[in-house]
Every structure is written in C-alpha cells, then in structure tokens.
Amino acid sequence: MLLKSLVKPKERLVTVQENVTLEEALKVLEDSGYRCVPILDETGTIFRGNIYKMHIYRHKSRGGDMQLPVTTLLKNATKFISVQAAFFNVFFSIKDLPYIAVLDTNNKFYGILTHTRLMDMLSQSWNVNIGSYVLTVVSPGNRGDLAGIAKIITKYTNIVSVISLDAQEGELVHRIMFTLPADVDEDKLDRIVHALERKEFRVPEIEYLHNEL
C-alpha cells in the first residue's frame, strides 16, 4: 500500500481550477516555477488533469487564444492512483511523469506523489547511513536461492536490506543486492564473498557506500 507520508497533500500544492484561462494558468506556472500543476474542478476536490508550461508556451507562440479555458490543453487526465495503491502499480503509473495525482478512497483529489520523492524512498533502501558494502549476487534463479544466499551471509553478519532485481524475460540469472551493516570490514567481506562463490553464487560487483561521502 502507498504510504501517505510519501504524498504531498493538496493543501501544500499549487493548483489551478478548471475555469481559469490559459493566460491565468501561465502566470501561476511562471510565479511558482513549476513546469506543470494539477487542474482541479471548481470545488477543488476533483482531479481533471495537468497543465504544462511548455504546452501553453507552444500554444502562445503559434498565435493561440490565451483566453481559452485551461482545460483546452489538459493532459494526463487518466494518470492517477489511489492512496491505497500497491507500490507495484505506482512504479508503472508514474514512469514518465514528474508526479502522479493521488485520490482518496472517495476518489477525491488527495495530493501528488512526485517522481523525486519516490526515488528518494527507493534510495533509502540502501541504508547508506548504517550500511557499509552492497553486494550484487547473481543466482540462476532456482527455488531457494534467496534463502540460501541469505543463510550464507548471516553466518558472518546481519543483513541491513535486500533488493531483488529480477531478470528480463529470456535471461537465466537474477541479481540480488544485499546491504551489509557498518561493522563489516574488508576481512569479513572477503570471507562472505568466498563463501558465496564456493556455493556457485557469483558476486560480480561490490560497492562501498561511503566512497563518495
């Protein structure tokens, strides 16, 4: 389920109502500095779509009527998710958007989830502040591989986090990224890697999280 803490609520957003003109919407965009903002109905509760600054500029440069309603250039009318949406659906829905509208359980506009906020949440999965190394372990994707790899690693240390990067269709391997805690030194790291490789789990990449910090 989508965490509400990731969503920027409408009370903190810049929006325009569906009855404003393109000229008025452009001023809102220019004053705010945003490249697009949500369009809501006159009650401020129903999401209509988004208005992009670039589309208004293009319209204006072609001599278009700037007194037309903002809905003339409305985009992304069907691009929204429920506040109860699964993360799996969120990833595919937000793919090429700067943000996606979020509706509450009554289909009223709740706020937006930005692409940046979602990426920040994912980056936290590496647990940079409490982690040391990230091991990329390659397995053939057999049943029990994840449990087997975890069992080997936990003979030496705890596991801070795990991310599985599933193979593309037709590939025969899976990549699993394990973040190890901060107290793992190079000696312990070497023992973990050797133990994994003895069981035919390849470790093609090791990243030290604090090289750039």
- CATH topology (fold) of 127-208: Alpha-Beta Plaits (3.30.70)
pLDDT at 2: 56
Return the pLDDT at 213: 42
Mean pLDDT per 10-residue run, the chain (213 residues)? 79 97 98 97 97 98 98 96 83 86 96 88 66 88 90 96 68 80 94 95 88 51
Within the chain, all domains assigned CATH 3.30.70.260 are found at 127-208
* CATH 3.10.580.10 domain extents, the chain: 4-121
Torsion of CA 16, 22, 28, 32, to 10 degrees: 100
pLDDT score, position 168: 53
Looking at residue 53, its pLDDT comes to: 97
Say which amino acid occupies 140: P
Residues 6+ apart with CB under 8 A from 63: none
CATH architecture of the domain with range 4-121: Roll (3.10)
106 touches 144 (CB < 8 A): no
